[in-house]
Each structure stands twice: as C-alpha cells, then as structure tokens.
Amino acid sequence: MNGFVLVIALLALGFLQRWLLNTFGLKGLSYTRRFSKKAAYEGEEAEMIEVIRNDRFFFIPWLRAESRISPYLRLGKQDNLAVSGERYHKSIFTLRPFQQITRRHRVRLLRRGAYDVGNVSLTAGDLLGFGGNGVEKHSPSEILVYPKLLSEQDIPLPVSRLQGDLIVRRHYITDPFLVNGIREYRPGDPIRDIHWPASARMNALQVKTHDYTADTKLLAVINGQMSENQWGDLMDYEQDMIERAISIAATVCVKVLSAGVAAGFAANMPMGESESPAMLPPERHSAREEELLSAFARLKILRCRNFLSFLDDLSFLRGTDILILSAYTSEAIEEKIALLRRLGNTVTLHLLEKEVKAA
C-alpha cells in the first residue's frame, strides 16, 4: 500500500513538474549565440559562443538547443554537443535557478560565404525525460568568411603579370597635392616645392616631398557561367572553379590596393539578398579592402544575368585595367572585349578552364 502511494506521489510530482515546465520553464530563459569574430578567411578557425541564462527560481532538469548549421562550419567534438550529418547542431544544458552557462565551440571555416546561425529551437524537459513546449529564438549571429588569398606563386599568368604592371605603373606620376614630408633642398628641385616656413625654422632651404598619384585602377570581372547557354545551378566541381576565380580576384584586388591602386570587382552573380549583378567600381580608401572582401564573402554562385549582356554594362569604364576571369571564351565575348579596349581600357582575359587542364 505504501509503495502504491509512493508511486502515485511520484507520478503526481512528475506531472506537476511537467506542467510547471510547460507553463513557466521557458519564459525566464535568455539565450544568445555569437561568433568570436565578425570575419575570417577561409580555412581559419573561430569560436561560436553560446550563453544561456535562467532568470527564475526554477530548476530545469534538461534543456535542448537545436539549430541547423552549414556543413562548411565544422564544429569539433566535445561533451554535451552533437552534430548530425554536419548539418544540425544540438547542445544539452541543465540549469539551476538564476544560473548562467557559457559554452565555446571551436569552428573551422571550410568555405567562403556569409553564415548566420542565429535561429535556435529551445526545448525544456522534466526529470522523467519528457519534453515540454518548444520556443524559437533568434539572435543575429553572422560570420563572414573571406575567400582564401593566394600566394605569389599560386597567382596564374597572365594575372600575375597584370598585377605587377599595375603596381609598377602606379609610381609613374607624382601628385603635387599629396605632400608626405620635408627634406633638404637639392640642386634641381623646383622652386615651387620650397617650404618657406620650414626653411626659416631650420635656417636652410627645405622642400616638400610628394606621394605618387594613383593613375591606374583595376576592375576584376568574374563570369559565373560555365558555357554560353548555361543557366541555373552549377555542379560542385563547377562551383569549385568559380570559387577559384573569386580567390584570384580577391587576391589581386588586395595586392593592388596595398600599392595604392584603386580596385573593384563585378560579376554576373548577386550578393546577399540582392537579385542584381554585383558591381563595385574601382575605388581607393582606407576601408576599401574590408569592403571588397565582405562583398566577395556575400557573393552567390548563381548567374543572374547573361555574361554578354553584363559586359555591355561595363561600357561606362574609361582608362581602367579590366581582368576578366571566365571558364570559356567565344567570338561574341572577344568582340565585347575589343569594344572595351576601344573605349580606352586595358583588358586581360584569363581562362579558368585552361588552368584546370594544366593542373
């Protein structure tokens, strides 16, 4: 009889606890997830940080946080963590009243892209193992994975030659408006460069030294098509070729920016939620490198405009070094390139297809 009463009491206690969990268990919970850095390069690591807090005087025997995660974000193995098929992330918590738990997960960033893992489903359960009601939480948690930058040896010809020519031409012309210092007067220095206040202070003639003007600019153009009539999604090996083109374009842009050359890129593919082709005309300023790398990270491998029509969109360019990265060429493409050259641009076509065959 006493055993029967004990069983009834335990069942009643279990049902009471389950009712309390369903009614109050998730109302006092706060959950956030973020990355340790806003951006990183492909192949690097970052930390994904989970913070969960129970703000009520209520014990939660177990709580499960589940979310979908890209297979290109590879989490390391650890206790209280499961990753199913490298696509679903699950963490298990036990929370005392007013307790906060912080967990850090090492994440290897396998591929360029923009990844948001802020959508999480929380489910609380009782001591008997029964799950209660679930709730959806969202905390903005994005990381940008920049394309992998290539070494000098990995930059294919004629791309490396173009890059070198741009950097050399960068130093041809001095800009009289860009003063970077003062030095002693030398025979042959123009009188207009004499800095009279400094000369008076130093009791000797001093002249202004000038920086070089950025007389060149680069636009890297990526063709997201594999053939003239291609439309729609690409196979994995085809996407790898486009990823290679993105890495080449990003590397060249970063290199020439460091030499003071204005840089930009364009592609017949969209960025982020946009449905329009990517177009960032050449510019040069302190935040340009981060701006371009972020745009490369958000670039989607999806053709949104025919490449021939897209080349017509570049007819506004004048005096620009254009690098075209494409898996193919055609008579029509060569005609478009000839037109761009007649407009005063220098155009270099690099065929990705040839590079893959030579490997």
Residue ranges per structural domain of the chain = 29-146, 152-170+214-358, 179-212
> Would you state the structure tokens that stand for residue 45, as one six-digit string?
């690591």
Residue entry with tokens 């007649």: 342
Give strand pairing partners of 348.
Answer: 323
> Each residue of 99-148: pLDDT tens digit?
999 999 899 999 999 999 888 888 877 665 555 667 787 877 899 999 99
Q: What integer pLDDT is reported at residue 359 of this predicted model?
A: 33
Indicate the CATH number for domain 152-170+214-358: 3.40.50
User: Helix, strand, or coil here: 124?
Assistant: strand
Maximum Cα–Cα distance across the chain: 115
**Span 231-244, pLDDT tens digits:** 767 777 788 999 99
Interacting residues of 208 by C-beta distance below 8 A, sequence separation 6+ = 179, 181, 182, 193, 194, 195
Q: What pLDDT score was predicted for residue 191?
A: 79
pTM for this entry? 0.77
Q: What are phi and psi of 47, to 5 degrees?
A: -110, 135
pLDDT of residue 92: 84
Fold of 29-146: Immunoglobulin-like (2.60.40)
Give the separation between CA 57 and CA 217, rounded to whole angstroms. 63
Q: How far apart are CA 309 and CA 338, in angstroms?
A: 15
CA distance linking residue 322 with residue 121, whole number of Å? 47
Give me the residues of the chain with pLDDT under 70, please: 1-26, 77-86, 126-133, 157-158, 160-161, 163-165, 167-180, 210-215, 232, 353-359
Token output for 164: 């070198």
